[in-house]
Amino acid sequence: MDTNPAAEFEWFIDGVKQTDGVLPPTEAPPEGNVDLVDTISTLTFVPERADHDQRVSCKVSISTNGATEAEKGVTLKVFGNNYFANNFK
């Protein structure tokens, strides 16, 4: 996300803020524009059957005089068992 100042990210699963699996955001100026900051945030986790139909969302905040927030998410569809999650840790 190209902004100035850099965007701040928060990750949620069914409305519960996540801290485990959240990688530190990466920041770099986008190509050709040194006035903005390109910020990327990543949540890494292995969904389990119990996560079926839970909503994973990311809330982005930009701290400016007119503070801006946006949130996007997806609903997980997890089918099958936990064979891989339980046997390949």
The domain that holds 35 is classified in CATH as 2.60.40.10
In a domain, 36, yes or no: yes
Q: Is the dihedral of CA 46, 24, 27, 8 positive or negative?
A: positive
**How many Cα atoms are found within 13 Å in the side-chain-facing hemisphere of 74?**
7
88 found inside a domain: no
Question: How many domains are contained in the chain?
Answer: 1
Rounded Cα–Cα distance for residues 24 and 62 (Å): 17
Domain range for 34 is: 2-81
| pLDDT score of 66 | 62
Helices (H), the chain: 83-87
For 28-45, what is the mean pLDDT? 77
Q: Do the domain assignments include residue 77?
A: yes
CA-nearest of 10, 76, 75, 72 to 39 is 10
Q: Are strands 55-62 and 37-43 parallel, antiparallel or unpaired?
A: unpaired
For residue 24, is it within any domain? Answer: yes
**Residue 14: its pLDDT value, please?**
95
The model's confidence at residue 83, banded by pLDDT at 50, 70 and 90, is low
- The predicted model scores a pTM of 0.73
